[in-house]
């Protein structure tokens, strides 16, 4: 039984992963939580089904009101939200600090020197993403402004919070790279930016998390976001549940980890954010030609200044070398083809003019710590 609704991409992708496992290893009879408009008392209906069906196992989003009413002894896998784990259950845990770190690295690669984070106070996963984001920004020699919600009730309505967020956005310098804890929050920030006349991405560039296309692609400008391995997590959660039903694995083997896989770049961070016009032009040249086997000499020749001067200005503006920036941008192009196409690694190597399969492996490993094949295994749904 899957007590998971379908209003968010995270939930839908979890269910997709579960359904694929059930297709390959079933047959399973699956009851999922009905939409509220079909059954306003859906949770009570679910509890009745648990009792009437003789349910073998459960996968559900954390909900203390519901968990406390589930009959004892039913193997359960929980996607925890308010803390890291729910004791006595299998757990889907998020590597939330890594999510914040990936968003921070993306904004640093865009050239930002001013940073901000906007989340939900006292929400576990939002706080962990903030920590990962701020740690990465601080390690680069910068600091991040952090939004604090007004001291109002927990069920704070957006229309009441909005003026407070708008005032905070006015205090941020131009340009600022901002991480929102989730795509829903990105949308709210975008609306608040428009209300106070802050241009996105030129004044404030926004990156969220979850890569919910229904949110990100319907906005103007479209919203960049950190993508997760959620479908695979749903598949592995179903595998874990079956193991718990059949052989009761030990506590340290009852965990599935949600990880960030890549950044889907859209208009909200499509900007080169540096005041140094030479560095900005060099960055644009690298980005526009990342499908070619670029060299540092080619970038220097395009800039019409000495290599020593451009390297010094690159280091001052971005904290990395020209060569490292080329590697980062070429790797992002490989990432894009690995996630958005079915091209083989050999075909990608040919398209991006790497000399052979071994060279693209070495190149990709410099940035990602894994080969292109290993990366594709991580990001593929199942």
pLDDT of residue 70: 65
| Under 8 Å between Cβ of 156 and 218 | no
- Which residues make up the CATH 1.10.10.60 domain(s) of the chain? 277-372
Determine the Cα–Cα distance for residues 56 and 90; give it in Å rounded to an integer: 14
**CATH entry, 2-93+229-260, from 3.30.230.10, 3.40.190.10, 3.40.50.2300, 3.40.50.1860:** 3.40.50.2300
- pLDDT mean for each 10 residues of the chain (382 residues): 72 89 82 60 66 76 62 81 76 94 94 94 92 97 94 68 94 96 96 96 96 93 94 93 88 88 92 84 89 92 90 86 90 88 91 89 88 84 67
pLDDT of residue 45: 67
Stated pTM of the model: 0.84
Determine the Cα–Cα distance for residues 293 and 327; give it in Å rounded to an integer: 10
For the chain, the first-to-last Cα distance in angstroms comes to 21
pLDDT of residue 139: 95
Q: Which CATH architecture has domain 96-228+263-269?
A: 3-Layer(aba) Sandwich (3.40)
Nearest to 143 by CA among 187, 166, 188, 173: 173
Tokens of 109: 């690669």
Helix (H, G, I), strand (E, B) or coil at 179: strand
pLDDT of residue 88: 79
| Under 8 Å between Cβ of 70 and 252 | no
C-alpha triplet 250, 253, 257: angle, nearest 5°: 150
Q: Which residues touch 194 (CB under 8 Å, ≥6 apart)?
A: 200
pLDDT of residue 153: 54
- Which residues make up the CATH 3.40.50.2300 domain(s) of the chain? 2-93+229-260, 96-228+263-269
Q: Which residue has the tokens 């310098």?
A: 173
CATH of domain 277-372: 1.10.10.60
Determine the Cα–Cα distance for residues 166 and 118; give it in Å rounded to an integer: 12
């Amino acid at each position: 039984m899957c007590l998971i609704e379908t209003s968010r991409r995270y939930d839908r992708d979890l269910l997709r992963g579960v359904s694929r496992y059930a297709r390959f290893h079933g047959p399973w009879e699956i009851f999922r939580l009905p939409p509220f408009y079909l059954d306003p008392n859906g949770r009570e209906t679910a509890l009745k089904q648990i009792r009437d069906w003789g349910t073998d196992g459960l996968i559900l989003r954390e909900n203390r009101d519901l968990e406390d009413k589930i009959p004892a002894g039913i193997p359960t896998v929980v996607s925890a939200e308010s803390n890291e784990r729910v004791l006595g259950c299998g757990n889907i845990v998020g590597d939330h600090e890594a999510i914040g770190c990936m968003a921070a690295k993306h904004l640093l690669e865009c050239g930002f020197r001013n940073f901000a984070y906007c989340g939900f106070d006292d929400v576990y996963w939002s706080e962990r993403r903030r920590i990962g984001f701020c740690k990465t920004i601080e390690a680069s020699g910068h600091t991040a402004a952090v939004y604090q919600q007004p001291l109002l009730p927990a069920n704070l309505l957006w229309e009441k919070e909005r003026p407070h967020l708008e005032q905070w956005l006015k205090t941020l310098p131009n340009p600022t790279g901002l991480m929102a804890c989730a795509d829903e929050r990105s949308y709210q920030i975008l609306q608040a930016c428009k209300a106070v006349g802050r241009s996105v991405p030129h004044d404030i560039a926004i990156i969220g998390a979850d890569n919910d296309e229904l949110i990100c692609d319907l906005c103007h400008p479209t919203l960049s976001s950190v993508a997760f391995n959620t479908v695979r997590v749903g598949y592995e959660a179903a595998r874990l549940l079956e193991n718990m039903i059949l052989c009761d694995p030990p506590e340290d083997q009852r965990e599935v980890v949600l990880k960030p896989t890549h950044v889907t770049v859209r208009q909200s961070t499509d900007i080169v954010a540096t005041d140094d016009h030479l560095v900005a032009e060099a960055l644009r040249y690298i980005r526009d030609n990342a499908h070619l086997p670029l060299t540092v000499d080619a970038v220097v020749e395009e800039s019409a200044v000495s290599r020593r001067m451009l390297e010094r200005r690159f280091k001052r503006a971005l904290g990395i070398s020209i060569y490292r920036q080329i590697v980062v941008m070429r790797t992002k192009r490989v990432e894009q083809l690995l996630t958005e196409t079915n091209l083989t690694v050999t075909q990608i190597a040919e398209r991006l003019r790497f000399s052979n399969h071994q060279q693209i492996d070495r190149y990709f490993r410099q940035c990602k710590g894994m080969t292109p094949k290993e990366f594709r295994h991580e990001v593929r749904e199942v």
